């Protein structure tokens, strides 16, 4: 009985040893999620959440273009060394990344699509790299932005869009404009996409608040105003938001 037991152990060991070279373990990456594009003045940033713990993870590939169709990884933006990934990275638990897209020329008023993937290199796979699949692309239109110090008048790119009535505690839009209030904010880009973008979703006045964020609408024009003090504010202007209701 003892001899048979020892023989079986030896046989199992030999079987495993002979087949060890057939076993390949490759880590899979979680795809970036909660992705959205942030327009700037002739630039675009991308915000996303990610969590990747893998020995071969190298960073993130970013894609940008005027078409929503991308070939992976050929259409990814290369880094300053002319290689992938676009942005290098290391293992990380759940983290929010906000990165300006590098090495790509953006022009104000042009509709672009962007995407982001997790990327790494691994000699155990046939194509020598691992990359998550692009399941969605995100539209964005860069636009001018700046600051103003002439409040109570509120202007965006030379357009008078509204006025502050501090005594009355309200913000009123200029003729032809309406306003939507997005509350107290600590970040100018806390609101990028205007979900309720019909004329009826905008009002003839809004409550006045320092650090209040306001979006004004006139036809397809959008203006974003972030009031910093009684006299100063930050602005952005989208001349034609009909292709993408964001600013």
| Rounded average pLDDT over 101-127 | 93
Distance CA 144, CA 232 (A): 17
Does residue 22 sit in helix, strand or coil?
A: helix
Q: 94, 109, 140 — which closes off a domain? A: 140
* Same-domain check for residues 79 and 128: yes
Per-residue confidence (pLDDT) for residue 79, from 0 to 100: 97
Say what percent of the chain tops pLDDT 70: 89
| Rounded average pLDDT over 87-102 | 96
User: In which band, very low, low, confident or very high, does the pLDDT at 246 lie, cut at 50, 70 and 90?
Assistant: very high
Task: Quote the distance between the C-alpha of residue 162 and its chain's center.
Answer: 29
Handedness of CA 63, 67, 69, 73 (dihedral sign): negative
> What would the two tokens of residue 163 be?
């006025």
| Rounded average pLDDT over 109-125 | 93
| Rounded average pLDDT over 115-125 | 89
| 199-244 residue pLDDT tens | 999 999 999 999 999 999 999 999 999 999 999 999 999 999 999 9
Examine the pLDDT at 89 and tell me if it is beyond 80. Answer: yes
| 44-82 residue pLDDT tens | 999 999 999 998 999 999 999 999 999 999 999 999 999
Q: pTM of the predicted model, to two decimals?
A: 0.86
Indicate the average pLDDT of the chain.
91
Distance CA 22, CA 57 (A): 23
* Same-domain check for residues 126 and 182: no
CATH code for the domain in which residue 42 is found? 2.60.40
Distance CA 47, CA 146 (A): 21
Q: 99, 119, 140 — which closes off a domain? A: 140
User: In which band, very low, low, confident or very high, does the pLDDT at 26 lie, cut at 50, 70 and 90?
Assistant: low
Q: 83, 114, 140 — which closes off a domain? A: 140
Structure-derived torsion over alpha carbons of residues 125, 128, 134, 138, reported in degrees to the nearest 10: 160
Examine the pLDDT at 146 and tell me if it is beyond 50. Answer: yes
* Same-domain check for residues 166 and 223: yes
Examine the pLDDT at 2 and tell me if it is beyond 50. Answer: no
| Rounded average pLDDT over 124-152 | 94
* Same-domain check for residues 76 and 171: no
Say what percent of the chain tops pLDDT 90: 85
Per-residue confidence (pLDDT) for residue 25, from 0 to 100: 52
Per-residue confidence (pLDDT) for residue 28, from 0 to 100: 78
* Same-domain check for residues 125 and 53: yes
| 171-188 residue pLDDT tens | 999 999 999 999 999 999
Query: How many folded domains does the chain comprise?
Result: 2
Containing structural domain, residue 126: 33-140
Per-residue confidence (pLDDT) for residue 27, from 0 to 100: 63
């Amino acid at each position: 009985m003892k001899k048979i037991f020892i023989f079986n152990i030896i046989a199992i060991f030999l079987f495993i040893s002979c087949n060890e070279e057939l076993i390949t373990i490759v880590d899979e990456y979680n795809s970036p999620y909660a992705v959205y594009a942030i327009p700037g003045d002739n630039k675009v940033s991308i915000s996303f959440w990610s969590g990747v713990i893998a020995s071969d993870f190298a960073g993130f590939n970013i894609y940008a273009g005027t078409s929503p169709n991308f070939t992976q990884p050929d259409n990814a933006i290369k880094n300053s060394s002319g290689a992938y990934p676009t942005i290098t990275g290391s293992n990380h638990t759940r983290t929010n990344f906000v990165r300006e897209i590098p090495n790509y020329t953006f022009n104000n008023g042009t509709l672009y699509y962007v995407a982001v993937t997790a990327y790494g290199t691994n000699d155990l796979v046939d194509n020598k790299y691992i990359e998550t699949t692009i399941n969605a692309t995100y539209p964005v239109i860069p636009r001018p932005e700046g600051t103003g110090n002439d409040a109570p008048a509120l202007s965006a790119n030379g357009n008078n869009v509204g006025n502050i009535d501090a005594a009355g505690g309200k913000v009123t839009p200029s003729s032809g404009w309406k306003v939507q209030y997005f509350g107290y904010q600590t970040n100018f880009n806390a609101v990028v996409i205007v979900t309720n973008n019909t004329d009826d979703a905008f009002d003839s006045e809004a409550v006045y608040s320092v650090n209040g964020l306001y979006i004004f609408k006139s036809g397809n024009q959008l203006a974003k105003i972030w009031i910093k003090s009684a006299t100063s504010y930050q602005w952005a202007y989208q001349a034609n938001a009909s292709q993408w209701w964001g600013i």
